[in-house]
Structure 1
Amino acid sequence: MPRPRKAGDPETWPDACGRCAEHYQIVVRWPDGGICGYCYQQAKRTRGTCACGHDGVLPGRVDTMPACRKCSGVQLNIDCIGCGNEDELHSGNRCWACILATTVDRVLSPPHNQAPSPALQAIARALKSMKRANSGLTWIQQPHVTAFLQQLAAEPVITHARLDELPASRTREYVRGLLVEHNALPRRDELSARFNDWAEQALERITSPSHRDIIRRYIRWHHQRRMNQMDEVTHGTFLRAKQSVTVAIDLLNWLTERGTELEEVNQAHLDRWQAEGPTTRGIASRFLDWATKTSLIDPSLKLQPHRRGTSPRMDPARQTEIVHSLSHTTGMNPRDRAAAVLVMVFGQQVSDIVQLTWDNVTVTEELVTITFGTVEIALTSPLDEPWRELAATPTHDQTAAHPNSNWVFRGGVPGRHLQASTLTQRLSTVFSSRAARLGTLHELTKLAPVAIIAEALGYSPATIERHATDSSANYAQYIASTALARYKP
């Protein structure tokens, strides 16, 4: 993404730039006039084929069209002495790609002249082949990244288990993602692995050995078993499992403080424990259901269920205001705008949006359609604009993190889509995605039957029925009017 420009300053820089006509500092004078720093940087990075047939950097202009140095008369050193290509130079008359390659070889060189491991060779090839070499160089030159890679270079063999032994950090997981994405490590379900690591630490919080054994069985035979049966553990499943185990540990530690084993618990214990704490203690019902099935407690024992459906929803006036803003704003990231449209207008869940690939998106001159499962949603103008902008400017292959990524919403981890929580946080600067989604569904249930809305938006009829009940929608008049229209002579 280009660096955002500051406002021009005619008083300090009275001469306007010959390219953008704005008042910035002039850094070079070319045949088409004085060129500001912004346009100078852009010129060095403009590539294409000149009218004369030259293929490479086109820093000049001929009749407003990009042109090579020979045709435009521009004086500019873009000849790399390392690779011989035309490119923006970094230092020592060498381009960014050559400097990146040299840096990668230096950082990833094993000690004592040992041969680099196949995994390190895979990372090296990936970094050197980046189209956006400046991003790779900026990343690898960070002190903590350099230190981690040098530590990894000393490893004779790199495996998931060995990475797990290193201190947890974002750099560790990013490098792991690179190794997986470039086939140097097998792909594994990272959320399942994260839950397993978390669970081992959670067990240490249990004060009773007997209760620790119960929670260990609960984790293994309920949560881990369920995760092992899934094609891919979702972020929601991961968070719910952590929450369920955390609340269960809270309950068992409370019983231990009162000298009570789980097998001895009665309804008075549960009522008191739940009354003393937050409403989220009702989530322990999940653990008690499992304990009942495994014959650990009396099946008649119950907790008050955790209250749901109390989240606020956005009012129609605010929805209209935001949708209008999304249709005209240029200050919002196109991907955030694209996601916001699906939430605000079609009530889609962020967890589903982040999993969209470009195979789910069809862009034609007339229409843009997004497919959720088997349901196609049509976007008409101006709601389709951010999606058209994304399709017209693909950038998924610019770095080593996403060389072949098909995700619309690429994440910070190589080869993975953006986390739903991250997108929710980004959208929160404009609106609450949950309140917006609930508000949209609430209003839509007033306009059409449950079955039609459920089919059109990809929801289950039961889910839409709950929103219809909440909005007190009455469809009798709709059905009657439809029937009259159908049989009207």
Structure 2
Amino acid sequence: MPRPRKPSDPAKWPEPCGRCSGHHQIVVRWPDSGICGYCYQQAKRTRGTCACGHEGILPGRVNALPACRKCSGVKLNIDCIGCGNEDEIHSGNRCWACVLAATVARLLTPKEQTSSPELQAIATALKSMKRANSGLTWIQQPHVTAFLRELAGSPDISHAGLDQLPASATREYVLGLLVEHNVLPRRDELNTRFTNWAGQAINRVTTQNHRDVIRRYIRWHHQRRMNQMDEVTQGTFLRAKQSVTVAIELLNWLTEHGAELTAITQAHLDRWQAEGPTTRGIASRFLDWATKTNLIDPNLKLQPHRRGTSPRLDAATQQEIVQNLTHTTRMSPRDRAAAILVLVFGQQISDVVKLTWDHVKVTEDEVTITLGTVEIALTRPLDEPWRQLAATPTHDQTAAHPNSDWVFRGGSPGKHLRAASLTERLSTAFSSRAARLGTLHELTKVAPVAIIAEALGYSPTTIERHAIDSSANYAQYIASLTLPRNHAR
């Protein structure tokens, strides 16, 4: 990604750049004009085929078209002495890719022993990155360098071996690389993380009796459920942590007030809930389990969370935001594509980030996206950011996503973007939750529950709740049941 340009400053730099016409510092003079630092960097990375047939870097200009050094008369060192290719030079007359390869070899080659197949595989993956400057920038961070050296000295390159190394984001990233490049078998990382977290959380319980209760709650409720899933989702992981944390708070509160869980009363629950934040209502999940396992009186209840109190965007505000999205250049195409799914189709962020290119079809005539079981066509100009994404794929530029098919790929190897990250990015324009609720509220006024649920991938119960809230009258829409399902818009 090119670095952002500072504002043009004619007072400080009177001479305009011959390429961009902006007033920035002129760093080099070539036959066509003086070139600013931004355009100089861009010129060193411009690849293509010159009019003379030369393929490689085209830093110069001839008749306003990119041209090779010979045709344009530009003097520029782009000849790597390592690989012999034309490329941007990093240092020592070597290109970024050659410096990256040398750095990787130095860090991942154990002293006085042969590199293991596992280390060789990860080294090959890092060396082959198409965006070598990104890889080198990452590796040269002191904490990454230190971790890779420690990894090279580890006698056991396995899940168990890596788990013994100090926990860090770098460890998780390298582990993801090893899995994505088939060095290590795939495992459910969130399940593993919850197990490790839970083992430490149990120690926060202040009495042995309550510690045994929490251990059973974790093992027979949360871990059993996770073990039955194909893959634990981020939402399941976070809800489980939250449920256990609140349950521990309740048990420790009971201990402070001289009570055991088995002797808890409604007065205890009312006082505990009244004294703390609204998140204490989450303890109802733990109490439901305690009731099923005959630990407490089944008549004990916490005050339920009130539904329907979340704010939602009105139709006029949503239309204004959608209109702005089709013209703005402040948001990336990827963020605008996600925003359209939330604002127009009421999609949850947790579902948006899981979209793959198998769900999206881009042709000259239309762009379609499969939501739920229905293929929905995007009308212009809503299809524009999706066309940009399809035309400029970037998932194969680093070692993290060698075979990724995610539309919204994330920073972790082989993983999609985290829902929380996308929510935060969209928050500069609107609240994704308020937008989604507003869209569903409006849709239930103009279409039957069954069609909305099937088209957008929701359960009928969820859409029914929104329909009741919006006081929709469905009788007048019976005719819409005959609409072709694959042409929902």
Q: TM-score, normalised by structure 2?
A: 0.94
2:373–2:455 Cα contact (<8 Å) kept: no
- Offset, 1:90: 0.9
1:37 match: 37
Matched-pair contact (CA < 8 Å) for 1:377–1:457: no
Deviation at 1:138, TM superposition (A): 0.7
Q: Distance in 2 between matches of 1:482 and 1:386?
A: 31
Q: Is the 8 A contact 2:61 2:67 kept in 1?
A: yes
Q: Is the 8 A contact 1:117 1:156 kept in 2?
A: no
Cα drift, residue 295 of structure 1: 2.3
Give the Cα–Cα distance (whole angstroms) in 1 for the partners of residues 70 and 305 of structure 2: 73
* 2:34 is equivalent to residue 61 of structure 1: no
**CA 1:480 to 1:143, structure 2 compared with 1: closer, same or farther past 3 Å?**
closer
Matching of residues 54-453 of structure 1 within 5 Å? 54-111=54-111, 113-453=112-452
Distance 1:407 1:185 in 2: 21
Deviation at 1:124, TM superposition (A): 1.1
What is the identity, as a one-letter code, of the residue corresponding to 2:19? R
Residue 104 of structure 2 aligns with an amino acid whose one-letter code is V
The residue type equivalent to 1:329 in the other structure is: T
Taking a change above 3 Å as real, the CA distance of residues 481 and 116 of structure 1, as seen in their structure-2 partners, is closer
Contact 1:48–1:55 (CA under 8 A) maintained in structure 2: yes
Identity of aligned residues (%): 80
Amino acid at match of 2:47: R
- Is contact 2:13-2:24 (8 Å) kept? yes
Deviation at 1:75, TM superposition (A): 2.0
**Displacement, 1:429?**
1.4
User: SS of 1:376's equivalent?
Assistant: strand
Conserved? CA contact 1:13–1:23, under 8 Å: yes
Deviation per residue, 1:177-228 (Å, 9 max, x gap): 1111111221111111111111111101111111111111111111001101
Task: Name the CA distance, whole Å, in 1 between partners of 2:246 and 2:340.
Answer: 36
Letter in 1 for 2:186: R
What TM-score, normalized by structure 1, do the two folds share?
A: 0.94
CA distance in 1, matches of 2:105, 2:464: 60
Shift of 1:480: 8.7
Q: Distance in 2 between matches of 1:265 and 1:385?
A: 59
1:22 aligns with 2:22: yes
Q: 1:413-449, CA deviations, whole angstroms, 9 ceiling, x for partnerless residues?
A: 1111111011111111111110111111112222222
1:481, CA displacement in angstroms?
11
CA offsets per residue over residues 273-317 of structure 1, 9 Å max, x none?
333333332222222222222222233333332333321111223
Please tell me the residue identity of whatever aligns with 2:197.
W
Residue 164 of structure 1 and its aligned partner are, at CA, apart by: 2.1
Partner Cα distance (1:216, 1:325) in 2? 51
Distance 1:84 1:447, change over 3 A: same
| 3-state SS of paired residue (1:443) | helix
The answer to whether the 8 Å contact 2:343/2:435 transfers is yes
Contact persistence 1:108–1:153 (CA under 8 A): yes
RMSD between superposed Cα atoms in Å:
1.9
Deviation of 1:482 after TM superposition, in Å, equals: 10
- Alpha-carbon displacement from aligned partner over 1:378-402 (angstroms, at most 9, x marks no partner): 2111111111111111111111111
Does the aligned pair in 1 maintain the 2:371–2:455 contact within 8 Å? no
Q: CA deviation at 1:80?
A: 0.6
Unaligned 5+ segments in structure 1 are 484-489
> Greater shift after overlay, 240-249 or 70-79?
70-79
Q: Which contiguous aligned blocks of 4+ residues in structure 1 show a shift greater than 4 angstroms?
A: 477-483
Give the partner amino acid of 1:133: A
Amino acid at match of 1:164: D
Moved more, 161-170 or 346-355: 161-170
Q: Deviations over 1:39-62 (max 9, x none)?
A: 221111111222333221122223
Q: Give the deviation of 1:265 after TM superposition.
A: 2.4
The aligned counterpart of 2:52 is: 52
**Residues 1:359 and 1:440: Cα distance change in structure 2 (over 3 Å):** same
Q: Which residue of 1 aligns with 2:485?
A: none
The letter for the 2-side match of 1:324 is Q
**Counterpart in the other structure of 1:468:** 467
Q: Residue 250 of structure 2: SS of its match in structure 1? A: helix
Whole-angstrom distance in 2 between the partners of 1:267 and 1:13: 75
Instruction: Name the CA distance, whole Å, in 2 between partners of 1:127 and 1:435.
Output: 42
Aligned length: 482
Could you tell which deviates more after superposition, 145-154 or 25-34?
25-34
Contact map agreement 1:446 1:468 (CA 8 A) in 2: yes
Residues 356-380 of structure 1 show CA distances to partners (whole Å, capped at 9, x for unaligned) of: 1111111111211111342222211
Q: Secondary structure at the match of 1:359?
A: coil
Alignment-mate amino acid for residue 137 of structure 1 = L
CA–CA separation in structure 2 for the residues paired with 1:23 and 1:302: 69
SS in 1 for 2:193: helix
Q: Which moved more, 1:420-429 or 1:60-69?
A: 60-69
Q: Secondary structure at the match of 2:56?
A: strand
Task: Could you tell me which runs of 5 or more consecutive residues in structure 2 were left unpaired when the two chains were aligned.
Answer: 483-489
> 3-state DSSP class of the match of 2:22?
coil
Distance, in Å, in 2 between the alignment partners of 1:482 and 1:82 is: 67
Alpha carbons 1:281, 1:306 under 8 Å: kept = no
Distance in 2 separating the partners of 1:123 and 1:302: 53
Measured against aligned partners, the alpha-carbon deviations of 1:87-129 in whole angstroms (never above 9, x if no partner) come to 1111111111111111112222323x22223222222111111
Question: 1:457 maps to which residue?
Answer: 456
CA contact (8 A) 2:247 2:283 kept: yes
CA gap of 1:227–1:11, structure 2 versus 1, over 3 A, is same
Q: Provide closer, same or farther for how the CA distance between residues 29 and 473 of structure 1 changes in structure 2, counting only shifts above 3 A.
A: same
Secondary structure of the 2:204 match is coil
CA distance in 1, matches of 2:307, 2:244: 19
Matched residue, 1:487? none
Letter in 2 for 1:70: K
User: What is the CA-CA distance between 1:74 and the residue it aligns to?
Assistant: 2.3
1:145 counterpart letter in structure 2: V
